[in-house]
């Protein structure tokens, strides 16, 4: 798990609000507040509110480990992953099921985490980009192929492309190139790196 | 000379971080006690702000502070502001920012703020603004760009009447120039092509929204941002925050796409920094996709007219072009000017006349988008060359070849020189690769409802400049540290050009450390990663610094072993005496000696001509090794053009109006190839974005001024299924004589040639019909094939 908190001393930081205080505040204002501080479902301003909503402690299976985490009723999986579990490899591109930068696997199926409620995946197997590597940190063959073929340009969509490719190859280990491009077509790349990503998928499939 | 590294593939150091998700973009950072910031943006296209009432918002528990235009540095209008003052100019225009303990609370506070607007007339169609009595996008005027001061331009009703329904009206221009005998050229022409056209605008749509995270420590502002460039952005960002550049610590190791919209820092970056200063807490300013649409820029559109007169052999004798530019509300786009230059460069007309008016519109601020001006121009004008070729009964490559620039080519109204141009070679190589003579026979062939079209496109953008600094360091462990202030846009030029220094210093690539992405690492002043520049400018700075390093190594060897510096030669990570190999000095030993010697050897003294940013950076690393710092003072006379040719074969479905790209190739005139894999990546990616220009939309409701293409889906970005499985590519591989390595850039031209190969192929599939418009939509094709008029008026913008 990555945790890149910058230590900051403003010289006037007071005690942080306790979780109880946060929950009381939530009830008082009638607004869904995430303990992580980030707004859930950001596309429509404060529109993500749920009157009186409070977080519930749930267990999620992420990258093979059970993780206990407080989750709001309307919380999306990308929010939980990025802002509560600190797994920032999963990117938020559109928050609207349009780009696939947030792609994770749920029970080995490629899923837009920006449009999946966290409560709906309790008890399911969630795999993020951080869980694609082998237990000893060995890169997945898709990742190796992405390096060999120079898959990414800017890299922002890459986590999603890698996870989508891993999911594709789980279900279809030897796709034709047309099956591969259809399988990957839920993931946008603004740099237009499609042919390099596609080459990597085909290379990885050959090395299975 | 033979190189060990230049021209060979390698794995750039930052690829693994990208494929594992470990690469940290601005939004991936956080801090203890971090506050969140959100902006309130305008819901209407044009209005006076009469009052702002924040009292209810400030009562909400958790709200910490508010920034308005009065709290931030001001820049004279119509410059792009940090927060707009007194007047809003488009839907999505940032008015104020709120900071709170949580982002949700900040969003709640935004909704509790009351603003009283006095709505003003708005305009999203430039011609409407030029019409007598038409609305102005700003109270103070409707025309501005760069040197063209904010002013009001209205044409006469007679100008519009004279043009009729289908021709571009042409009233008073804000800028015009000409060279040669234009009238005489048209008189001598065998064939004259005269067309009016429209190029739609479209958003940059970077995958990473431009989130900024900032905090202050010890009087310095620490800023994590999304930026194409690194040290080239510092002065601007510091200006927006109103601090001396040396007080900015800028961290931007990765940038999730820029395409021209994140070149030199941008005003919105200052909000997190200024808010953090005000509330004395770290501030995260996350940008949503909707926010990004408002502040993330768009490619300006043109409504235009062009007339071109050709000699019997296809030579372009005279050209006359008029461009009205859809500019957005600020003077942020100079595309029209670049398009005029492109006309004089790509086709070398004997005589040329150019007129333009950059018109302000109540749409998002527009700016440079990968080949600004040149590429809209190419997409529209290249198919016109096919039309002229048909009328002259000459080959479509021949008409391009006769007009293509070579080393004697000229550019601009001044007819300035070029450093090199091998476009004729690029055309020949592409024709060979694409088997043009066979391929052109497929043109118009029908199978059921599928018809084949083959297209040729060309692209141009200037692709090199000079005058930046190089900075290298050898440390006591024998490593060569390449300090680079170029950004990380995903072109991998930060590493490809570092290999120039390693090659020149005979250093193993494994012993190179690239220092980049964080000003605390000591980064030299380098060009922006924009304008197809970085490969060219950075190979020059690397060369300059490597020369300085070589000289210092020889100096130190002579000081150590006696004799003159010239008695020593560079070997594998060492220098040795020419006649006595026992007198040698390894990189490790040289680093230790340099630290002991001090002065210029360890960076304690620096050349006067270095940029202040470089001097500061050398100061940070002084005393840590043998340091070479040098300005690129090598001469360069003329414009350095990057050029490309694309060819495409499409299969157009006459029932659905859709087309599939069956094959596509591109050949680049970009000088010496530094990194084939990376170059191929730029070429194919650029061509994909070019396909995008033919598909993408940026639509405003003309009555309400509300955007209808916010987001990727409505913008119609190309997906895996819209592009060919592979874009074949090659390079001309003729070195540019005015770059020490022979390098020119090519990131931008490849978009223009890609776009124009597709518009040319569509016209070809339709028997030569020119839509004179981007995007080309299926309904345009269906209507044309059914003999119906298009659903839009000839010069209408914001069409779907």
Q: How, if at all, do strands B248-251 and B220-224 pair?
A: parallel
Residue B273: inside a domain, yes or no?
no
For residue B81, what is the domain's CATH number? 3.90.1170.50
Record: contact B688-A150, CB cut-off 8 A: no
pLDDT < 70 positions in chain B: 1
Q: How far is B40 from chain A (nearest CA, A)?
A: 9
Contacts of B159 by beta carbon, 8 Å cutoff, 6+ apart: B169, B170, B171
CA distance A195 to B440: 26
The Cα–Cα gap between B594 and B621 comes to 13
Asked if B420 and B569 sit in the same domain, the reply is no
Task: Tell me, yes or no, whether B264 lies in a domain.
Answer: no
The answer to whether B104 contacts A198, with C-beta atoms less than 8 Å apart, is no
| DSSP per-residue codes, A148-169 | HTT--SS-TTHHHHHHHHHHHH
Name the residue among A76, A9, A85 with its Cα closest to residue A43.
A76
DSSP letter at B46?
A: S
Q: How far is CA B755 from CA B670, B686, B730, B774, in A?
A: 19, 9, 18, 9
Asked whether the beta carbons of B223 and B251 are under 8 A apart, the reply is yes
Min distance B330 CA to chain A CA atoms (Å): 26
Domain limit, last residue, from B574, B601, B631: B631
Residues of B in contact with A91 (CB under 8 A): 25, 207-208, 256
A94 and B110: CB-CB below 8 Å? no
B619 and B693 housed in the same domain? no
Q: What is the spatial distance between Cα B782 and Cα A70, in angstroms, rounded to a whole number?
A: 54
- The answer to whether residues B613 and B474 belong to one domain is yes
Backbone angles phi, psi at B340, to 5 degrees: -60, -45
**What is the model's pLDDT at position B799?**
86
Give the residue from B120, B154, B180 where a domain finishes: B120
- Chain A residues closer than 8 Å to B529 by CB: none
3-state SS assignment for residue B389:
helix
Q: What's the maximum distance between 2 C-alpha atoms anywhere in chain A? A: 60
Cβ A158–B107 below 8 Å, yes or no?
no
Instruction: Please tell me which of the candidates A6, A29, A185 has its beta carbon nearest to residue B282.
Output: A6
A45-54, A92-101, B293-302: least confident range: A45-54
Residue B156, burial from CB neighbour count under 10 angstroms (0-12, 13-18, 19+): middle
Q: Which residue of A has its CA nearest to B33?
A: A13
B685 in contact with A, Cβ within 8 Å: yes
B90, B120, B150: which is the final residue of a domain? B120
Residue B424 in any domain: the answer is yes
Please tell me whether residues B459 and B476 are part of one structural domain: no
Sequence length of chain A is: 208
In this structure, the answer to whether residues B647 and B775 fall within a common structural domain is: yes
- The confidence score (pLDDT) of residue A34 equals 53
Question: Which of B576, B627, B579 has the alpha carbon at shortest distance from B604?
Answer: B627
Residues B557, B545 within the same domain: yes
Nearest residue to B682 (alpha-carbon basis) of B633, B743, B629:
B743
pLDDT confidence bin for A24, thresholds 50/70/90:
very low
A92 part of contact set with chain B, CB < 8 Å = yes
Chain A CB contacts of B228 below 8 Å: none
Å from A193 to nearest chain B CA? 5
> B720–A90: do the CB atoms touch at under 8 Å?
no
Q: Nearest chain A residue to B681 by CA: give it.
A: A193
pLDDT at A22 over 50: no
Whether residue B681 lies within 8 A of chain A, CB to CB, comes out as: yes
Answer whether A138 touches B (CB < 8 Å).
Answer: no
What value does the mean pLDDT of chain A take? Answer: 84
B776 and B702 housed in the same domain: yes
pLDDT value, residue A54: 86
Contact between A54 and A27 (Cβ < 8 Å)? yes
Interface test with B, best of A29, A84, A98, A194 (most B CBs within 10 A): A194
Angle at B381 between CA B376 and CA B382, to 5 degrees: 105
The answer to whether residue B111 neighbours chain A at the CB level (below 8 Å) is yes
Is A195 near chain B, with CB under 8 Å? yes
C-alpha torsion sign, points A17, A20, A21, A22: positive
DSSP H/E element including B799: none
Return d(Cα B35, Cα B213) in angstroms, integer: 10
3-state secondary structure of B266: coil
Q: Is A18 in the B-facing interface, judged by CB distances under 8 Å?
A: no
Are residue B667 and residue B750 in the same domain, yes or no? yes
Looking only at the bridges linking them, the beta strands covering B410-411 and B148-151 are unpaired
Contact B207 A33 (CB under 8 A): no
Q: For position B737, which CATH number holds?
A: 3.30.365.10
Instruction: Report DSSP letters for B690-745, one per residue.
Output: HHHHHH----B-TTT--BS--SHHHHT---GGGS-S--EEEE-----TTSTT-B--
**pLDDT, position B1:** 63
Nearest to A8 among B31, B289, B711 (CB): B31
pLDDT reported for residue A52: 60
% of residues, chain A, pLDDT over 70: 77
Residue B249 covered by a domain: no
- DSSP-derived secondary structure for B570-627: EETTEEEESS-TTSEEEHHHHHHHHHHH-GGGTTSS--TTS-HHHHHHHHHHTTSSEE
How far, CA to CA in Å, does B707 sit from each of B124, B202, B439, B671, B710? Answer: 10, 11, 42, 42, 7
pLDDT tier at A41 (50, 70, 90 boundaries)? low
pLDDT at residue A42, rounded to an integer: 56
Q: Please indicate, yes or no, whether residues B619 and B505 belong to a single structural domain of this protein.
A: yes
The better pLDDT of the pair B644, A7 is held by B644
Going by pLDDT thresholds of 50, 70 and 90, the confidence category of residue A5 is very low
Q: For residues A14-38, give the mean pLDDT.
A: 44
Which H or E run includes B641?
Answer: strand B641-653
Residues B481 and B567 in one domain: yes
What domains appear along chain A, each with residue ranges and CATH number? 19-131 (3.10.20.30), 141-206 (1.10.150.120)
Which letter, b or e, does each residue of B505-523 get, where b requires 16 or more Cβ atoms within 10 Å of its Cβ? Answer: bbbebebbebbbbbbebbb
Q: Is the peptide bond before B78 cis (omega within 30 degrees of 0)?
A: yes
- The answer on pLDDT for A19 being more than 80 is no
Give the pLDDT confidence of A138-181 residue by residue, as tens digits: 999 999 999 999 999 999 999 999 999 999 999 999 999 999 99
pTM, two decimal places: 0.95
Angle (deg, nearest 10), helices A177-184 and A158-171: 130
Note whether A139 contacts B103, CB cutoff 8 Å: no
User: What are the chain B neighbours of A92 within 8 Å (beta carbons)?
Assistant: 27
Do residues B738 and B690 share a domain? yes
Q: What is the rounded CA–CA span in Å between residue B728 and residue B733?
A: 16
**Cα separation, B45 vs B123, whole angstroms:** 8
pLDDT at A203 over 60: yes
- Verify that B454 and B478 share a domain, yes or no: no
pLDDT of A7 over the 60 cut: no
CA distance B104 to A34: 8
The Cα–Cα gap between B310 and B318 comes to 7
Q: Give residue B2's pLDDT.
A: 83
Q: Does residue B800 form part of some domain? A: no
Confidence tier at A37 by pLDDT (50, 70, 90): confident
Helix (H, G, I), strand (E, B) or coil at A173: coil
Cβ neighbourhood burial of A120 (10 Å; 0-12, 13-18, 19+): exposed
Nearest to B685 among A8, A188, A192 (CB): A192
- Evaluate whether ipTM surpasses 0.95: yes
What pLDDT is stored for residue A51 in this prediction? Answer: 52
Answer yes or no: is B366 within a domain: no
pLDDT of B309: 98
Output the CA torsion sign for B770, B776, B779, B781: positive
Number of domains in chain B: 3
B355 within domain boundaries: no
Yes or no, beta carbons of A101 and B207 under 8 Å apart: yes
User: Cα distance from A189 to chain B (closest Cα, Å)?
Assistant: 7
Has residue B495 been placed in a domain?
yes
Q: Do B18 and A16 touch (CB under 8 A)?
A: no
> What's the rounded Cα separation, in Å, for the pair B731 and B727?
13
Full residue range of the structural domain in which residue B91 is found: 31-120
Residues of chain B positioned with their CB less than 8 A from the CB of A34: 102, 104
The residues near A137 (Cβ < 8 Å, ≥ 6 apart) are none
What is the biggest distance separating any 2 CA atoms in chain B, rounded to whole angstroms? 87
């Amino acid at each position: 798990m990555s945790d890149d908190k910058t230590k900051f001393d403003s010289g006037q930081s007071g005690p942080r609000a306790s979780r109880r205080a946060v929950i009381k505040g939530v009830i008082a204002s009638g607004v869904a507040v995430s303990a992580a501080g980030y707004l859930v479902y950001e596309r429509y301003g404060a529109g993500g509110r749920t009157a009186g909503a409070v977080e519930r402690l749930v267990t999620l299976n992420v990258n093979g480990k059970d993780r206990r985490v407080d989750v709001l009723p309307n919380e999306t999986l990308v929010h939980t992953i990025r802002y509560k579990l600190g797994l920032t490899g999963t990117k938020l591109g559109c928050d609207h099921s349009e780009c696939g930068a947030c792609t994770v696997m749920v029970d080995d199926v490629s899923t837009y985490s920006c449009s999946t409620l966290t409560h709906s995946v309790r008890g399911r197997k969630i795999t993020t980009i951080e869980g694609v590597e082998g237990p000893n940190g060995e890169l997945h063959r898709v990742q190796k192929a992405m390096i060999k073929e120079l898959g990414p340009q800017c890299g922002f969509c890459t986590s999603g492309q890698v996870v989508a490719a891993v999911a594709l190859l789980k279900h279809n280990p030897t796709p034709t190139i047309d099956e591969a491009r259809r399988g990957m077509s839920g993931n946008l790349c603004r740099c237009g790196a499609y042919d390099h990503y596609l080459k990597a998928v085909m290379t990885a499939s050959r090395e299975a | 000379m033979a190189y060990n590294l230049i021209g060979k593939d390698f794995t750039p150091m930052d690829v693994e971080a990208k494929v594992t998700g470990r690469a940290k973009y601005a939004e991936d950072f956080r801090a203890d006690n971090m506050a969140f910031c959100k902006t309130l943006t305008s819901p209407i296209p044009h209005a006076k702000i009469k009052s702002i009432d924040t009292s209810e918002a400030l009562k909400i528990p958790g709200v910490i502070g508010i920034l308005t235009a009065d709290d931030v540095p001001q820049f004279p209008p119509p410059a792009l502001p940090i927060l707009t003052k007194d007047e809003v100019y488009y839907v999505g225009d940032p008015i104020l920012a709120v900071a709170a303990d949580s982002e949700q609370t900040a969003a709640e506070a935004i909704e509790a703020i009351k603003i009283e607007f006095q709505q003003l007339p708005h305009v999203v169609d430039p011609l409407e603004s030029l019409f007598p009595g038409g609305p102005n996008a700003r109270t103070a005027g409707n025309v501005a760009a760069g040197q063209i001061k904010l002013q009001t331009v209205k044409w006469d009703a007679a100008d519009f009447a004279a043009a009729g329904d289908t021709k571009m009206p042409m009233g008073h221009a804000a800028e015009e120039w000409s060279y040669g005998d234009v009238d005489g050229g048209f008189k001598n022409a065998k064939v004259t092509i005269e067309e009016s056209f429209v190029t739609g605008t479209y958003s940059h749509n970077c995958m990473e929204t431009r989130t900024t995270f900032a905090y202050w420590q010890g009087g310095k502002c620490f800023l994590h941002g999304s930026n194409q460039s690194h040290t080239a952005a510092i002065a601007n960002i510091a200006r927006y925050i109103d601090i001396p550049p040396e007080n900015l610590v800028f961290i931007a190791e990765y940038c999730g796409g820029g395409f021209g919209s994140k070149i030199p820092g941008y005003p919105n970056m200052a909000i997190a920094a200024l808010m953090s200063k005000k509330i004395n807490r770290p501030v995260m300013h996350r940008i949503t996709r909707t926010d990004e649409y408002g502040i993330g820029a768009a490619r300006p559109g043109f409504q235009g007219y062009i007339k071109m007169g050709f000699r019997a052999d296809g030579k372009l004798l005279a050209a006359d072009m008029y461009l009205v530019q859809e500019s957005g509300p600020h003077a942020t786009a100079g595309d029209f000017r670049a398009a005029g230059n492109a006309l004089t460069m790509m086709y070398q007309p004997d005589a040329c006349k150019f007129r333009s008016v950059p018109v302000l519109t109540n749409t998002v601020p527009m700016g440079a988008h990968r080949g600004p001006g040149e590429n809209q121009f190419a997409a529209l004008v290249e198919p016109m060359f096919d039309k002229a070729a048909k009328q002259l009964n000459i080959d479509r490559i021949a008409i391009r070849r006769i007009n293509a620039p070579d080393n004697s080519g000229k550019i601009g109204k001044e007819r300035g020189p070029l450093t090199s141009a091998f476009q004729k070679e690029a055309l020949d190589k592409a024709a060979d690769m694409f088997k043009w003579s066979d391929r052109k026979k497929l043109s118009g062939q029908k199978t059921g409802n599928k018809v084949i079209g083959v297209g040729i496109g060309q692209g141009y953008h200037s692709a090199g400049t000079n005058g930046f600094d190089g900075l290298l360091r050898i440390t006591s462990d024998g490593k060569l540290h390449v300090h680079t202030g170029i950004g990380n846009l995903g072109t991998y030029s930060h590493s490809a050009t570092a290999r120039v220094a390693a090659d020149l210093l005979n250093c193993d690539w494994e012993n190179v450390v690239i220092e980049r992405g964080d000003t605390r690492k000591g980064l030299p002043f380098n060009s922006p990663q924009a304008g197809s520049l970085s490969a060219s400018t950075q190979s020059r700075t690397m060369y300059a610094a490597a020369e300085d390093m070589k000289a210092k190594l020889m100096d130190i060897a002579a000081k150590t072993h006696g004799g003159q510096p010239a008695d020593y030669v560079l070997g594998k990570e060492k220098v040795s005496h020419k006649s006595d190999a026992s007198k040698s000095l390894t990189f490790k030993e040289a680093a230790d000696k340099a630290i002991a010697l001090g002065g210029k050897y360890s960076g304690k003294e620096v050349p006067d001509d270095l940029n202040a940013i470089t001097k500061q950076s050398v100061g940070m690393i002084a005393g840590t090794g043998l340091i070479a710092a040098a300005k690129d003072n090598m001469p360069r006379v003329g414009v350095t053009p990057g050029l490309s040719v694309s060819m495409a074969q499409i299969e157009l479905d006459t029932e659905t109006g859709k087309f599939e790209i069956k094959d596509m190739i591109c050949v680049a005139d970009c000088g010496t190839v530094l990194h084939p894999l990376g170059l191929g990546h730029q070429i194919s990616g650029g061509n994909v974005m070019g396909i995008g220009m033919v598909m993408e939309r940026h639509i405003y409701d003309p009555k309400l001024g509300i955007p209808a293409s916010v987001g990727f889906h409505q913008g119609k970005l190309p997906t895996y299924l819209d592009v060919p499985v592979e874009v074949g590519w090659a390079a001309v591989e003729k070195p540019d004589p005015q770059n020490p390595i022979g390098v020119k850039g090519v990131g931008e031209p490849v978009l223009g040639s890609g776009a124009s190969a597709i518009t040319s192929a569509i016209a070809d599939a339709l028997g030569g019909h020119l839509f004179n418009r981007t995007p080309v939509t299926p309904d345009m094709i269906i209507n044309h094939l059914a003999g119906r008029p298009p659903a839009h008026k000839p010069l209408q913008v914001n069409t779907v």
